[in-house]
Amino acid sequence: MALPWITRASRLVPLLLVAASCLAPQASAEPAKDRWGLTDEDWKTRNGPGLRARMGFPKNVAEVLAEAKKDDPKAMAILAGAYATGIGVQKNPQESDRLALRASQAGLPFGHFVAGLMFLDQERSGGPDPGTAEHYFLKAVDAGHAYAAYTLSVHYGNGKVLPRDADKAGKFLRQAADGGVAEAQTEAAIPMFLDDPFEALALLEHAEAQGEPRAGALMGLVRQQNAWNRKAEQLFLASVGNSLVGAWTTSGIVAAPCVSQLFVQSGQRVSSLWIVWQEITPQLLHATGFAINGTVMWNDRREARPRAVFNLGSRQAEDPDEHLRMHELINEARQLSQACQAFITR
């Protein structure tokens, strides 16, 4: 049975992770923007479609064309992508190639990146040239272009264009994430959760702020888990699988975007219960108890068990608000399970 992101979960410090509110953004000066309304970071962390959208292209195509005629490297690089795709101008592969090389020759890091893309174009005269494309991507990376690093990580990772090389893929993915590429930060964050959850959250938050859709989806799952974990405090864990437990939940953390780790205590003994959300089905047993059916992992040996049963204590059972909490926990568990199933199967 595949249990993603749970291999080393017991090493996590038993502190409640609060998502966005826990990592307050630091105030900083507004970065300078060029005539196209783009910052230096934009030029190094976004691809052509991202830059064109951010600068309002093709509404300003006439201005970009005029600046390209004056040998403005940024305008030439933007137009190279436009001519390659036919966005805002008539498709013209030859003009795309010419402008891409001119932008690269001018020393623009994004120009090197566009030149690399040019040599991968299936419609290029003479066909794709992966070796030359790799040369330009590496040149862009050396010049500080983080999105070129992300592009190399993808190609080294899938082996479709460049020879598969897992070490290089990982190296360039981390470089792209450190450079601020939202897509790379999302990919790098997932395996990082178990070793450094705060750094993983920081990467996802930055990527989410940049509008990266997968990061937004993952942060949504993190927030849902945090809310459920808090609401599940001070419940009586009656049993796990066929074993009686008799312990109280004390706190919970997000071990991964779809794995919660609950801490339970009986006397001086503290144990852990992991809930793999995409593999469970919650069941209301009665007004004061519910079960999590499916994959849960128990204690430090992380033994897979098919069921965990939670109850209210005798005094809690007399409180109508506690009955309401049980129903809310069940409903929110169903929502979280469904959200994780949908995300995992994308």
Q: Are residues 133 and 237 in the same domain?
A: no
Report yes or no on 310 lying in a domain.
yes
Domain encompassing residue 63: 38-144
Of the residues 89, 115, 144, the one at which a domain ends: 144
3-state secondary structure of 16: coil
For all residues of the chain together, what is the average pLDDT?
90
Kindly report the CATH number assigned to the domain that includes residue 232.
Answer: 2.30.29
Kindly report the CATH number assigned to the domain that includes residue 83.
Answer: 1.25.40.10
Report yes or no on 256 lying in a domain.
yes
Q: What pLDDT does 36 receive?
A: 96
Which residues of the chain have a pLDDT value below 70? 1-28, 300-301
Report yes or no on 47 lying in a domain.
yes
**Residue reference for tokens 């292209």:** 57
Report yes or no on 201 lying in a domain.
no
Instruction: State the pairing for strand pair 259-266/303-311.
Output: unpaired
Is pTM beyond 0.85? Reply is no
Q: What pLDDT does 61 receive?
A: 97
* Percent of the chain clearing pLDDT 90 (strictly above): 80
Q: Are residues 339 and 237 in the same domain?
A: yes
Q: Is the CB of residue 201 less than 8 Å from the CB of residue 208?
A: no
Compute the distance between CA of residue 200 and CA of residue 191 in angstroms, rounded to an integer. Answer: 8
Q: What pLDDT does 184 receive?
A: 98
Task: Quote the number of domains for the chain.
Answer: 2
Of the residues 111, 144, 177, the one at which a domain ends: 144
Q: What pLDDT does 301 receive?
A: 61
pLDDT tens string 211-230: 999 999 999 999 999 999 99
Q: Are residues 339 and 241 in the same domain?
A: yes
Q: Are residues 233 and 337 in the same domain?
A: yes
3-state secondary structure of 90: coil
Q: Are residues 238 and 136 in the same domain?
A: no
Q: What pLDDT does 125 receive?
A: 76
Report yes or no on 193 lying in a domain.
no
Report yes or no on 223 lying in a domain.
no
3-state secondary structure of 44: helix
Q: Is the CB of residue 5 less than 8 Å from the CB of residue 193?
A: yes
Q: What pLDDT does 94 receive?
A: 92
Of the residues 129, 144, 159, the one at which a domain ends: 144
Using CA of residue 33, residue 37, residue 40, residue 45, what is the dihedral sign?
Answer: positive
Report yes or no on 23 lying in a domain.
no
Report yes or no on 320 lying in a domain.
yes
CA atoms within 13 A on the CB side of 300: 3
